[in-house]
Structure 1
Amino acid sequence: MSWNGFDVSANLSLLFAELPYRERFAAAAAAGFTLVESWWPFAGPRPDDAEVEELVRLLADSQLQLTGLNFFAGDMPGGERGIACRPERQDELAASTDVLLRIAEATGCRSFNLLHGQLDPSGDLDAQHATAVEAYRRAATAVADLGGTVLVEPLARGLNGEYPLTTHTEVLALLDEAAAPNLVLLVDTFHLGMNGVDLPAAVEASAGRIGHVQLADVPDRSEPGTGQVPWDAVAEALHRIGFAGPVAAEYRPAAGTVDGLGWLTAA
């Protein structure tokens, strides 16, 4: 599947959500996708071997390439958005990193999203910032031997608690501080668009530092074409800076996944 010349990966944490997670792989393949990505697919940071092996098998059986995977991000359904900044949870992050590396070696996935996490306003904010910077450095080192990159994502204000990264410029400042060459910006059109960021301008301002792009419209986080994002201008900006993709369909379908795929063309 493609969009404006970019290969498109289906995010199975949001697409095909009308099906149980394990059934989404076959459904994505049947819909024409060859590439998929996922948030952390396990309930906790330490899944057992059978759970990891099932994920790898589902990908192989469906002949899908895993293009992106999130690090463990805490209780996402419960509202957490990462644990990188939390000093008391670094053992969970370390455990999930070991699992992530096993999946990367088995699948060829080389792009990994590490969510910063929400700040604890009652705690030491400087310590939480320092913890996050070190967590990003460790993650970048962990995947470096595989040729992997670690993605840093800004999120929408008002929807994700005390999450401190809300614009591309804030992420770029963190990347400068962490100073790891394989730490890169994730441009999510929904999150940046909800924060009033000029998306084409942000793409151009971040040239050479964008590792991944996720597509969803504003304000409903549905498929492209349902809202306010200037999609042609975004695509043109990505081409101008030489971004090669793939990009991800990471949205909540307005009326069923398959019925909402009209914005895509066959690859």
Structure 2
Amino acid sequence: MGFADQRFNVNLSILFTELPLLERPAAAAAAGFSAVELWWPWVDSPTPERSELDALKKAIEDAGVRLTGLNFYAGQLPGPDRGALSIPGEESEKFRANIDVAADFAASLGCTALNALYGNRVDGVDPAEQDALALENLTLAARAADRVGAILLIEALNRPESPKCPIVSAPKAIEIVDKVNAATGLGNARFLMDLYHLSMNDEDLPAVIEAYAAKTGHVQIADNPGRGAPGTGSLPLEELLDQLRKAGYDGLVGLEYKAGDRPSAESFEWLPREAR
């Protein structure tokens, strides 16, 4: 097995960002991809104007690509916020306002995976209070995802880049997945296994795959160090993805790496066109 035996999609919030948002789906299609994913594109607005939603929907449909993953509102990404749902006050209110907007937009394009990023710890706020708020909001998100036939993804970030995020290990993310499923009874919360973030946390990646492949709803990759394309760092990504397939994961693998100084379209030489 190898990269040619996997199925990939491309994250248009970290790749093709040299282009305006509405031009990225067509650029991904021109590079050979048939599926894309996105962070919430409107970082300042959980409830953008209908015209903005419709324009992005049209751009994706006109490009002939599928939207296969979408983040709920998470504040400024990339940036310091790293999530909103567990932050008391305005940010969690924005998250709640976004839940049905994001779920309905995903459904309009046949997207079946919604990612909900935990928020940073807030100085002066009891972590237990934040965690209770998070579970409440994740329960709402899981129900909205279920309403549109989607899964809810819970992702572990990494401690060096997100030092205030409490979800910085695979076991902690799995703990949240289990709590959400217990709270809703729906069973649609799944682990988003980002191999870059987990490697930044110095986790044993083969052991993580062995333990949690069955609870994994999506996989994302970038090499480490540098968060570049496969082959720019030292992670054995081909071997890890082969292990995931053998462990039963048969979903897409999201490309969430930085293209560097070159145009994004030039950063896929490592990937056979038939795998895109």
TM-score > 0.5, shorter chain as reference: yes
Q: Which runs of 5+ in 2 are unaligned?
A: none
Distance 2:152 2:223 in 1: 24
Residue of structure 2 aligned with 1:99, choices 73, 98, 101: 101
1:116-195 to structure 2, matched below 5 A, reads 116-178=118-180, 179=182, 180=184, 181-195=187-201
Contact 2:40 2:71 in 1 (8 A): yes
Contact 1:186 1:211 in 2 (8 A): yes
Residues 156-194 of structure 1: CA deviation (Å, up to 9, x unaligned): 112124001111111111222222411111111111111
Tell me the equivalent position of 2:25.
Answer: 25
- TM-score computed with the length of structure 1 as normaliser: 0.95
Distance 2:74 2:237 in 1: 29
Tell me the equivalent position of 2:248.
Answer: 242
1:87: how far off?
2.6
Distance 2:124 2:149 in 1: 38
1:6: how far off?
2.0
Tell me the equivalent position of 2:77.
Answer: 76
Q: What percent identity do the matched residue pairs reach?
A: 38
Distance 1:121 1:177 in 2: 25
Distance 1:18 1:124 in 2: 40
Distance 2:213 2:103 in 1: 28
Contact 2:160 2:200 in 1 (8 A): no
Contact 1:136 1:183 in 2 (8 A): no
1:78: how far off?
4.1
Equivalent residue pairs, number:
266
Letter of the 2:11 counterpart: N
Question: Which moves more between the two structures, 36-45 or 71-80?
Answer: 71-80
Tell me the equivalent position of 1:226.
Answer: 232
Distance 1:198 1:233 in 2: 14
**4+ residue runs over 4 A deviation:** none
Report whether the alignment pairs 1:111 with 2:117.
no
SS across alignment from 1:36:
strand
Letter of the 1:265 counterpart: P
1:98: how far off?
1.8
Report whether the alignment pairs 1:263 with 2:239.
no
Letter of the 1:90 counterpart: S
1:231: how far off?
1.6
1:148: how far off?
0.7
Residues 63-115 of structure 1: CA deviation (Å, up to 9, x unaligned): 11000000000122441011111131332112111211221221000101100
SS across alignment from 1:207:
helix
Letter of the 2:53 counterpart: V
Residues 45-72 of structure 1: CA deviation (Å, up to 9, x unaligned): 1100000001110011101100000000
Report whether the alignment pairs 1:215 with 2:221.
yes
Q: Which runs of 5+ in 1 are unaligned?
A: none
RMSD: 1.4
SS across alignment from 2:213:
coil
Contact 1:39 1:69 in 2 (8 A): yes
- TM-score computed with the length of structure 2 as normaliser: 0.92
